[in-house]
Amino acid sequence: MPLTGIRVIDFGRYIAGPYCAALLADYGADVIRIEAPEGNEDRYSVPVADDGSGAMFLQMNRNKRSLGLKPGSEAGREVVRRLVRTADVVVANMPDDALEKLGLDYPTLSALNPAIILVTASAFGSEEPLAQRVGFDAVGQAMSGAVYLGGSDGAPARAQVNYVDFTTALHCAFGVMLALRERERTGKGQRVSGSLLGSALAISNGLTIDHALNGVDRGMMGSRAFSSAPTDIFATRDGWVMTQVVGNPIFARWAALIGRPELADDPRFGSDIARGEHGAELSILMAEWCAARTTDDAIAELGAARVPAGPVLRPSEALAEPQVAAAGLVEPMEYPGIKGTAPIVRTPITLSANAKAELSPAPRVGEHGEAILAELGYDHEAISALRRDRII
């Protein structure tokens, strides 16, 4: 596997740090999750297991080993120092002052191991005025313009999916690959830094470029789009469908499908941006067409006409979609005290020459602690002392 032999020490919390490390674990990295001896708070969000471990935790921490540790104590710091000397990557999504307090700042780590790569993800970056502020995904969404644009009826609306966190994790994992490649050339590590604000602005940059160059302050769009139409959610006889009609050829096919081929020659609808400006009118036509059909029938006809569309599924329906099974996107994962198996979606890319690592369960708190400490040179007596002193 591409990352076999790479050791990652994961101090991450919630999504941005842990998911970055999980991506690396999927392709062979040895990822050691460090959490408090009683478990970190992100372990217990949306509990699904008898021990309180949560849905997000199971996803974020597959294929990792767990060491329960108090890294702020002197004995805990020594464990961290030994880990760093054996590691290639340290992941820590926390502000710089917290890094320094725990001895995880880059100068301290590189003094222990010049080849180490430190990956940090904060809310706003390391620069003032917001360097010490904390934030989560929704804050990044809100500050990017996307929450305003996605609102309707005068009220902004955020996405329920934490896409800013996940995008930050992806950017950080990309940074790890760059740093590993550079280390092959120089032998030296470096710091890889990401932020929720930076990720949110990067993926909404088209909106801000539009305003900067066109001077247009787009209003709230809800599920419609300002640069295409009919792009919207439409009620059918038994559910909803989403369409995204982009480009003149697709628009012409859509117009023919609903029995209005003359719309393709109407100058009001001559381009994506023009159609977006008249999106409410086009949505009315599409709503009438969809209202006369079931979801299955609407999707079948739209698919046959090669118009991009999909059913609006509940979370309970998403994994039952036949395409999900056909693509092998879901793998069942065992974990003590859950009902059945957890349906885990791992890194959704495939390599033609390399398989992912075999799926292993997210760890219980400190599950691999003794084995990890033994690898670091601690004998049974020393491990017992750490446990007695509640360091592990």
Active site residues: 165
CB atoms within 10 A of CB 104: 23
* 3-state percent helix, strand, coil for the chain, nearest multiple of 5: 45, 15, 40
Residue 223's φ and ψ, nearest 5 degrees, are -95, -5
Query: Which amino acid is located at 27 in the chain?
Result: Y
- Strand, coil or helix: 362: coil
CB atoms within 10 A of CB 359: 15
Residue 150's φ and ψ, nearest 5 degrees, are -80, 0
Determine contact, residues 298/314, Cβ cutoff 8 Å.
Answer: no
- Which residues are registered as beta bridge partners of 235? 240
Q: How far apart are CA 63 and CA 171, in angstroms?
A: 20
Distance spanning both ends of the chain, measured CA to CA: 31
